[in-house]
Structure 1
Amino acid sequence: MVLQFEGVVATGSAALDSGIGDTALKTLNGETYLYSVTGPGGGIVVWKLVEGALPQLQDTEYFSGTITYQVGDTAMPVSLAGDDQLILDVGTATGLVGYELNPNGTVGALQETDSLVGGGDISALVQLGNVLTIAHEATGQIATYTVNGDGSLSLMASVAGQADSMQVLQAGAGHFVIAADSISGTINTYNVDQNTGALTTVDNSDALATLGIATPTAVEVVQAYGQSWVVVAGAGSNSLSVMELAADGRLIATDHVLDSLHTRFETVQDLAVVEADGHVFVVAGGGDDGVTLFTLTPNGQLVHLDSFADTVHSGLQNVETLSVAHVGDELQILVGSQQDAGLTQLSVSIDDLGIVQSGFGTVTGSAQNDILSGSILETTLMGGAGDDILVAGIAATTMDGGTGADIFVMQYGSDPTTINGFQAGVDRLDLFDYPLLRTPGQLTFTATAQGAQIEYINEVIVINSATGGPLTSAEVFGAGFVGPDHIPVDFGDFGGLKPDSSDGVLGDISINSETANPGLSDAEIRFTPDGGGTISVRADDEGRFDLGLPSGTFEGELDIVKTYSLASDKISALDALQVLRLSVALDPTWGPATPENLIAADVNQDGIVNAFDALAILKLSVGLPAEKDAEWVFLDKDADLSGITETNVSYETGVHVTAVDNVIATDMTAILLGNVEQA
């Protein structure tokens, strides 16, 4: 998909065309209108969006009277008991100030609705049903108001908080407000009680800290692919972050991209997200004199489609605001600049969008532009005609894009991937999920008789050329990678990194993926379905985890990886003493050793309990580095351990489970290696 420059529209009035600070979209009677606002001494311009043409000027309104020099440069459409208004930020106002919007999109009378507890100095506003959530800049409060039948407002609740960008989103049965503030650098998630309006902060500090978002300037949300998504722009970090919003309000990072020489969202100021025919598109722009277009895959990854740099004809110097509308068979992108007058229109043709489908076995696309994704079992993806995006699954994936310019998206940690019919110079290989990969020079690239084989860390890609001959790196990658830099949102055990060490629960434990699991706090959860690839996720500090399995029933092996926290003091010199006794064929001081005692005693996991284990335990007990870090092992609760002796400590970790509609429930035994006395 290509960003096409269509033109620049303006009214000819400097007060209305220069310094556009915000744009907003509103659909009235089946027509889509764009409202641009220029702030103090300026006014509002209304543009009617028409398929295949530049926007048509519909109305203009200059700010007048007491608000002329008190109005900010933000515009927020709301509906108050059926009365559509464009709300403004007016510093001296005591109530909600806005212009009526007539059914034909034109601007009506100026209105002030009630007195607001925090005043009319509003930095952000969102609406869900009859509940408004308003960020009051002067008082530092975020408040909820109910819209009464006559259009008046009644305060429901408030909390201390700041926001200059807010969105409201439903996840499960909950309603959540995502609030970002560029000045304080904060991003907060609030659970909104629809009955009382009470705002409860959801702690997402851990998830956000790993992303490193600096100066968040915009937040957008969308419900797609059966999930709720949040996208945040960071001007200070030159980044876009994608997070899934869980039903309990937790944010789960799925992608984090940085601007590069090939993209145009450095110091990103605004972004827009739009869903069209089951596909999701993200557009961003800022101080990089242009805009960048992405599509969002069902697993929450951003795939770069195109970037458009400013020209002598367009007006994209230091992008300040942008809006994206789905008009007929195209996306219309309207962009306002800090330096150039008027609005620049770009368009993207979406008249050939196909299906979005995930699965296993054979997944076949249409003759249009499809997004096909692999799964946890072996999958063959057949794109057919059209410009398709094929996303590798966790298990072995075979891809065939067919005709058209296709994008093959790899997944780190997957089984080997095979690409058939690769068209050099036409198709594109997207490897940005591979951690720390920045240039093709980091890859092991081997030409073969039929194409090429690519290796990186433990990843293997076999490419078979459409012409049947060998491929060079230049034929596959051109001059290099095109697109943003993707930063891993979870390194897992990449490069020797391990899950955070933490306390656990000794002995028999019950595990349920729908609840908290104290014994699994900060552990890595691995599920390998029979005949499929391994899915690995990190449990939170309460041991909650979500494998993200597709609907259906899958049998497989569940394994837990969890290191030991030295701060818990559960391994002591007394444990070393017991191991010394075992190493010379003596019972522990409490009597005969159980198989669990022997497993705990074999801390170096060489299958024999001896003095080397005792030395390792002694080092661990006093905080000295040992040859092997202490860790937890998790066994099937019903495993037969009767054959374990001091000279034959042999056992299998993990348990065979059945996952039903992404739910796993099982019983295991947790043993802390080195903790002999309490095992």
Structure 2
Amino acid sequence: MDITLRRVIRPNLEDRQSHVSDMAIYEIGGQVFLIAGYEGNTRLVSYEIGSNGSATFRGGLTLPGGPSVGDLGSIAVGAMGDLVVTGLYGQHPQVVDVRANGSLALEGISSFGRDLGRAPGDFELVDLPGGTFAYSISGTGNLIEVDSFRSNGSGVVESVVTVTGANGGYMAIRDVTIAEVGSATYLVAAVSGADTIISYSVADDGRLTEIGRIGAANGLGIHLPEVITSVHLGTQTYVLVGSAGSGTLTVLRVPANGRLQAVDHVVDDLGTRFDGIVAIETLMVNGTQLVFVAGSDDGLSVLQLLPNGRLIHRATIEDTLESTLQNINDIEVIQNGNRIQIFVTGTVEDGISLLEIDIAEIGLTRITGTAGQSLSGGTNDDVLFARHMNVQLTGGAGADRFVFDAGYGASGSLGTIMDFQPGVDRILFPSLPHLSNLSQFDIVSTANGAILTYGEVSVTIRSATGQPLTADDFTQADFFEFDSHFIGNAPDSPVFDYRPPAPDAPRHLLGTPFADRLEGAGGNDTLMGYDGNDVLIGADGHDRIEGGDGADRLVGGTGNDTIHGGATSADLRDEIFGGAGNDLIDGGYGNDEIYGQEGNDTIIGGFGSDVLAGQQGDDVITGGPLSDLIFGNDGNDFINGGFGFDRINGGAGADRFYHLGIADHGSDWIQDFSDDEGDVLVFANGRARPEDFQVNFAVTENAGVADVAEAFVIYRPTGQIIWALVDGGDLDSLMIQFGSDATQYDLLA
């Protein structure tokens, strides 16, 4: 199955100063229209798309209000379609009529989302016995608003759900999706701030009740979940989660009780193109469930979701000089005639790439129903899925995938492949435990093929030529697409005569004024991004990484790395990941997100309102001049909010919370101060004494546990509130130390 570039739809002159922020597809009277919104000038444009790939401009519309068009959602109204445009700063969502000829007209201003501070960036609509409801994410990222919704876009606020962590910590909701299981309806939210996926039951009146959570704390290998969607396949409902920080796609099953269960988890590699994933689209074609994924990896991959929730890789396309696949931010997909049309836009290049897949090339998906069954493919790239033992699989022509998934604990003969083509076909074993390398198979040559044995199971392989097969005829890529380490068509590895590689020489890689992707290796590398929205990955070694101006993603990897986001005010919002090792990270300018990860890290937010997370290890974290959100996470951390009014969550361990003792240092909220864990306040003025402080108690609505007072620590000489401790009324002791003196005093004594 091949993905080809049909054309690039170039913007009109007035739209060339801005990139497309979102797209939507409409089918009206047998015609297909693509609607695109531009970020910088609040414009919508409409194109009629022919089954031959033609794109005809049908009109544009400039919306009133803020400087960017956000997500485009839709509701059906008779034979026509209404477009609901969200994300307009300072404006409520706006309702746009898509007319039969594809032209656009402003119909009205929606009234839902009005309590969220600005229009929501994303929302979901669902029809319930009590009416139609809209679920939207607040501009602050930690609220889900529930509105009753009418076809004209008006709404009435029914309830607001505040999403917090186990200790009341701030949570950044990135995306929501609706999942229906039988008569039950669930809303599932991707919460980036806690690497968590939360499921809610949806009542007939639209109200939400949390059912459960699954995420990194449960061992799920996700980091910064960014996008989520649901799929109903056969008798099962699945949720697909794309996590930008970990470059992963996770499949969660939604059972009848709504408690999510992990089914599959795949990781991007050089053979695929969804690192930094921000976009997922799905399409069912002739019984084959396809999944389209992309992000900052300068390309797009197509996977197939099997009925049991497993993923297999079908095709990948990389960016070229002709296409616009750099830093993809949106995908739309439709079946138009005998082709799949994929519309892709990114944040770097002008235009929308129209990619196509010939439906005939997808091939057949055949699944066994009983043990001993025979399955045959056709002349294209087929998937033969053996869920039972002792099966017989014949692929035929094309690049076929033979999937043996009889379940964990199977023993005996899985079956026979009748016509295997080495280097063309794939043999996949998704349920065999700890299988990750070709060298783990026992391969015995036969007169017309070979027998593969792993543990208690075996597969008989007959070659398509009828000739014997030896171990040298097989490669790593014949068997492994996805596992916990890599995904895609991995390069062959010397598994039979392995020798450790020589240490890598240091790399010195320099970027350009544009969007670059630079990767180090095993040495102590230097990576300089300069201007543009760069992706810099240090990998192994003690690396130096400089993002420069722009919105960069900086990843240290293993080793003690030094990472700097940017040194000028042209630096934008960077995402920085220290990786394993004791790293020094300075966000520089911009409202950055910084994650120390493993090791004892030193993190400096710099100029901006930053989100800082130390994560594992004993970290030293300093906010900066503005109001920051700081998480210490595990370990005995030292946290200095810096100048500004900061929100701080120390996490597990004996943490120290520092204040300079002057007015400009602000008044900091500490969300989880714990005397049981040995937390301590640190006041910089070494001449201060306990009698210089008083502690007042008062209940603050929505701050923490209801009816539990907060503790306000006041410095009497200035009257300033230095710290506000959430639920501080439950403390038995409140320890403080002054300057460099390690002596601790109890302010509650």
Give yes or no for contact 1:34–1:48 (8 Å, CA) kept in 2: yes
Contact 1:453 1:462 in 2 (8 A): yes
Maintained 8 Å contact 1:173/1:247? no
- Cα 1:458–1:261 change in 2 (3 A) is farther
Change (3 A) 1:293 1:25: same
Which among 184, 188, 195 is matched to residue 174 of structure 1?
184
Bigger mean CA deviation after superposition, 73-82 or 370-379: 73-82
> Does the alignment pair 1:189 with 2:187?
no
Letter matched to residue 300 of structure 2:
V
Q: 1:200 aligns with which of 206, 209, 224?
A: 209
Query: Which has the higher Rg, Structure 1 or Structure 2?
Result: 1
| Residue-by-residue CA offset, 1:432-482 (whole Å, 9 max, x unaligned) | 544443442333222222201112233312101122221134544376656
Counterpart position of 2:281: 272
Partner of 1:77: 74
User: In angstroms, what is the RMSD of aligned CA positions?
Assistant: 2.7
Q: Would the aligned equivalents of 1:214 and 1:234 in 2 still touch at CA under 8 Å?
A: yes
Residues 1:408 and 2:402 aligned together: yes
Separation of aligned partners in 1, 2:226 and 2:117: 23
Question: Cα offset for 1:427?
Answer: 2.4
How far apart, CA to CA, are the structure 1 residues paired with 2:273 and 2:331? 13
User: 2:173 is matched with which residue?
Assistant: 163
Q: SS of the residue aligned with 1:203? A: strand
Three-state SS of the structure 2 residue aligned to 1:178 is strand
Q: Which one has more relative contact order, counting CA pairs under 8 Å at least 6 apart? A: 1
Match of 1:117, SS state, is helix
More off after superposition, 141-150 vs 332-341:
141-150
Distance 1:189 1:19, change over 3 A: same
- Is 1:314 matched up with 2:323? yes
Gaps of 5+ in 1: 354-368, 489-679
- Once the 2 structures are TM-superposed, how far is the Cα of residue 99 of structure 1 from its aligned partner? 2.7
Counterpart secondary structure, 2:424: coil
Q: 2: distance between equivalents of 1:150 and 1:268? A: 34
CA displacement 1:141-186 (0-9 Å, x = unmatched): 2122223476532222221135332221211111111222435544
**How far did residue 29 of structure 1 move?**
2.7
- Which residue of structure 2 lines up, in the alignment, with residue 56 of structure 1? 56
> Counterparts of 1:284-323 in structure 2 under 5 Å?
284-323=293-332
Gaps of 5+ in 2: 164-171, 487-749
Q: Using the alignment, how far apart are the partners of 1:400 and 1:17 within structure 2?
A: 54
Matched, 1:419 2:426: no
Q: What one-letter code is carried by the residue in structure 2 that aligns with 1:146? A: S
Indicate which of 132, 137, 140 corresponds to 2:139: 137
Structure 2 residue aligned with 1:498: none
1:113-124 correspondence to structure 2 within 5 Å: 113-114=110-111, 116-124=114-122
Contact kept? 1:24, 1:34, Cα under 8 Å: yes
Native 8 Å contact 1:16 1:43 kept in 2: no
Distance 2:138 2:189 in 1: 12
Report the CA distance between 1:235 and its aligned residue.
0.8
Q: Which residue of 2 aligns with 1:546?
A: none
Q: Where do residues 339-350 of structure 1 align in structure 2 (5 Å cutoff)?
A: 339-350=348-359
Shift of 1:270: 0.9
TM-score, normalised relative to structure 1: 0.64
**How far apart are residue 384 of structure 1 and its match?**
4.7
Match of 1:152 among 151, 154, 160: 154
Give the 3 Å change call, closer, same or farther, for CA 339–384 of structure 1 in structure 2.
Answer: closer
Q: Is the 8 A contact 2:18 2:41 kept in 1?
A: no
> 8 Å contact 1:177–1:192 — kept in the other structure?
yes
Decide which moves more: 463-472 or 396-405.
396-405
**C-alpha distance in 1, partners of 2:20/2:462?**
51
Shift in alpha-carbon separation, 1:107–1:436, aligned structure 2, 3 A: farther
Distance 1:185 1:35, change over 3 A: farther
- Which residue identity lines up with residue 111 of structure 1 in the other structure? G
| Paired AA for residue 198 in structure 1 | R
What amino acid sits opposite 2:201 in the alignment? Answer: N
Alignment of 1:8 with 2:17, yes or no, is no
Paired residue type of 1:173: S
Change (3 A) 1:167 1:375: same
2:716 equivalent in structure 1: none
C-alpha distance in 2 between matches for 1:405 and 1:350: 15
Q: What's the % identity of the aligned pairs? A: 26
How far is 1:290 from its partner? Answer: 0.6
**Whole-Å Cα distance in 1 between the matches of residues 55 and 144 of structure 2?**
35
Deviations 1:300-346 (A, max 9, x none): 11111111111121111121211111212211111111211111111
| SS of residue in 2 equivalent to 1:409 | strand
Is this contact kept in 1: 2:69–2:85, CA < 8 A?
Answer: no
Q: What is the rounded CA distance, in whole Å, between the counterparts of 1:83 and 1:389 in structure 2?
A: 37
* Alpha-carbon distance, 1:107 to partner: 1.8
Q: 1:186 to 1:90 in 2, by over 3 A?
A: farther
Amino acid at match of 1:91: Y
Q: Do residues 450 (structure 1) and 448 (structure 2) align?
A: yes
Q: CA separation of 1:152/1:320 partners in 2, compared to 1, >3 Å: closer, same or farther?
A: closer
Structure 2 contact 185–201 (Cα < 8 Å) conserved: yes
Alignment correspondent of 2:106 = 109
Alpha-carbon spacing, 1:208–1:13, altered in 2? closer, same or farther (3 Å): farther
Match of 1:596 in 2: none
Partner of 1:40: 40
Task: Give the TM-score taking structure 2 as reference length.
Answer: 0.58
What CA distance in whole angstroms lies between the structure 2 residues aligned with 1:206 and 1:139?
A: 18
2:226 aligned residue: 217
* Aligned-pair CA distance for 1:103: 3.1
Say which SS state the counterpart of residue 357 (structure 2) adopts: strand
1:21 is paired with a residue whose SS is: strand
What is the distance in 2 between the residues matched to 1:470 and 1:390?
Answer: 23
| Aligned pairs for 1:455-534 within 5 A | 455-477=453-475, 483-486=481-484
1 CA distance for matches of 2:464 and 2:31? Answer: 46
* Secondary structure of 2:364 counterpart: strand
Distance 1:333 1:473 in 2: 40
Tell me the amino acid that sits aligned with residue 242 of structure 2.
A
Which is richer in helix?
1
**Alpha carbons of 1:483 and 1:279: their partners in 2 closer, same or farther (altered >3 Å)?**
same
Give CA deviations for 1:578-618 in whole Å, capped at 9, x if unaligned. Answer: xxxxxxxxxxxxxxxxxxxxxxxxxxxxxxxxxxxxxxxxx
Conserved? CA contact 1:292–1:308, under 8 Å: yes
Query: Quick one: distance in 1 between partners of 2:485 and 2:472?
Result: 24
* Aligned AA (1:164): R
| 1:100 and 2:94 matched | no
- Aligned-partner Cα distance in 2 for 1:201–1:348: 40
Q: Deviations over 1:394-419 (max 9, x none)?
A: 43322222333321112263442221
Counterpart in the other structure of 1:370? 364
How many Å apart are 1:85 and its aligned residue?
Answer: 2.4
CA distance in 1: counterparts of 2:216 and 2:326, whole angstroms: 33
In structure 2, the CA distance between the partners of 1:479 and 1:301, relative to structure 1 (3 Å rule), is closer
User: Aligned partners of 1:345 and 1:481: how far apart in 2?
Assistant: 32
Amino acid at match of 1:428: R
Partner Cα separation in structure 1 for residue 49 and residue 473 of structure 2: 41
Q: How far 1:19 sits from its partner (Å)?
A: 2.4
Q: How many residue pairs end up in the alignment? A: 468
Cα displacement string for residues 542-573 of structure 1 (whole angstroms, at most 9, x for unaligned residues): xxxxxxxxxxxxxxxxxxxxxxxxxxxxxxxx
- Conserved in 2, the CA contact under 8 Å of 1:78 and 1:87? no
2:215 and 2:221 in contact (8 A); partners too? no
In 1: Cα distance, 2:81 partner to 2:386 partner: 48
Please tell me whether the aligned partners of residues 265 and 286 of structure 1 are also in contact (alpha carbons under 8 angstroms).
Answer: yes
